[in-house]
Structure 1
Amino acid sequence: MAVADFVQQQQLHALYSSHHGWLQGWLRHKLGNAGEAADLAQDTFVSVLTSGAAPQIREARPFLATIARRLVAHRYRRQVLEEAYLAALACLPPAVAPPPEARLLALEALQEIDAALDGLPLPVRTAFLLAQLERLSYAEIAVRLDVSASSVKQYLTRANRHVFFALPP
């Protein structure tokens, strides 16, 4: 093991030892669920580990809380998306409902698209969803968003480019 790797491992160990209990307690207070808090605390430290950011951390608790908040938001968004998908499936007659494997693949695809859209400004994301899900024209989207049709065209170009490069091949 290289000296730099050993030092980074020691920094991460110190960060974990000093702040894991606090982070898990903070998450438990926020979420009201000890199991979810434990999972998200671990996910937070995994994120720090995989990013290699441990050596650059100046204020550990605000840094860890920021990562944890993002993970909570991501988990909540994923849960809302899954619930909406399952509610839509429940409306289908059993004869046309997709099999469990297809449901899982569709849900994974929806989550990938959601992640790809994350980070886009709200009007751009909304325009993309209106065009893809409701098949609205530029003019109809412009009315809904109270912008010009040329703005909608720019929004959709940006969203399509963003999604195209964000999704795996």
Structure 2
Amino acid sequence: MLSAHPSQSDFQTLYREHHGWLLRWLKRRLHDAGLAGDLAQDTFIKVLVARSHDDIVRPRPFLATIARRLLANHCRREELERAYVDALLHLPQASAPSPESMSIVLESLQLIDRALGKLPAKARSAFLMAHLEGLSYAEIAVELATSTHSVKKYLAKANLLCFFAVPDFAAS
């Protein structure tokens, strides 16, 4: 068991005893040694930089949970990138953005995705339904089994959060 604020030796022990296991666990699931290695390292970095956390009674399930969350974030970012690139492929050649513009847009999408991840599920869903599916407040309210007033509040919060998530937009 590790204390709530692990010492350097506690962390080294955790790493030494469980890094190999976590790496093998990730490799079996991902079939990509490079990604597995990156996620294993990122998992331990999350543990290392955590300012406070509960006692780690069962390190392997704890580490696996962190790794699963990191993998979900990775997959979501890849899905965003694929959707953006797919949309670009359908543009006429003359209107296709430069590689620099593509990079800026992808980074902005990732920042927005990270911001949306901080929202409650209903606010996040309302934002996506409004901006990706083009649903009205009333249609969103029906989908979420809530009032249009709540939808307005969800969207105001989500839009503001996303606006400030991308520094270039907030500065302009």
TM-score normalized with structure 1 length: 0.82
Task: Say if 1:144 and 1:119 are closer, same or farther in 2 by CA, change over 3 A.
Answer: same
User: What percent of counterpart residues are identical?
Assistant: 55
- Report the counterpart of residue 69 of structure 1 in structure 2: 68
- Report the counterpart of residue 104 of structure 1 in structure 2: 103
- Report the counterpart of residue 19 of structure 1 in structure 2: 18
Over residues 83-110 of structure 1, what are the superposed CA-to-partner deviations in whole Å (9 max), with x where a residue is unaligned?
0010001111111111000100000000
- Which range moves more in the overlay, 128-137 or 8-17? 128-137
Q: Which runs of 5+ in 1 are unaligned?
A: 1-6
Q: Which amino acid aligns with 1:19?
A: H
Q: Retained in 2: the 8 A contact 1:138–1:152?
A: yes
Task: Say if 1:52 and 1:121 are closer, same or farther in 2 by CA, change over 3 A.
Answer: closer
Task: Say if 1:50 and 1:167 are closer, same or farther in 2 by CA, change over 3 A.
Answer: farther
Secondary structure of 1:150's partner?
Answer: helix
- Report the counterpart of residue 156 of structure 1 in structure 2: 155
Q: Which amino acid aligns with 2:71?
A: V
Over residues 4-49 of structure 1, what are the superposed CA-to-partner deviations in whole Å (9 max), with x where a residue is unaligned?
xxx8221111111100010001111121222221111111111112
- Report the counterpart of residue 85 of structure 1 in structure 2: 84
- Which range moves more in the overlay, 30-39 or 93-102? 30-39
TM-score normalized with structure 2 length: 0.81
Partner Cα separation in structure 1 for residue 110 and residue 157 of structure 2: 20
Q: Retained in 1: the 8 A contact 2:15–2:44?
A: yes
Root mean square deviation, CA, Å: 2.5
Q: Which amino acid aligns with 1:33?
A: D
Q: Which runs of 5+ in 2 are unaligned?
A: 1-5
- Report the counterpart of residue 131 of structure 2 in structure 1: 132
Q: Which has the higher contact order (CA 8 A, sep 6+)?
A: 2
- Which range moves more in the overlay, 147-156 or 71-80? 147-156
Aligned residues between the structures: 163
Over residues 50-74 of structure 1, what are the superposed CA-to-partner deviations in whole Å (9 max), with x where a residue is unaligned?
2255894332111111110110101
- Report the counterpart of residue 117 of structure 1 in structure 2: 116
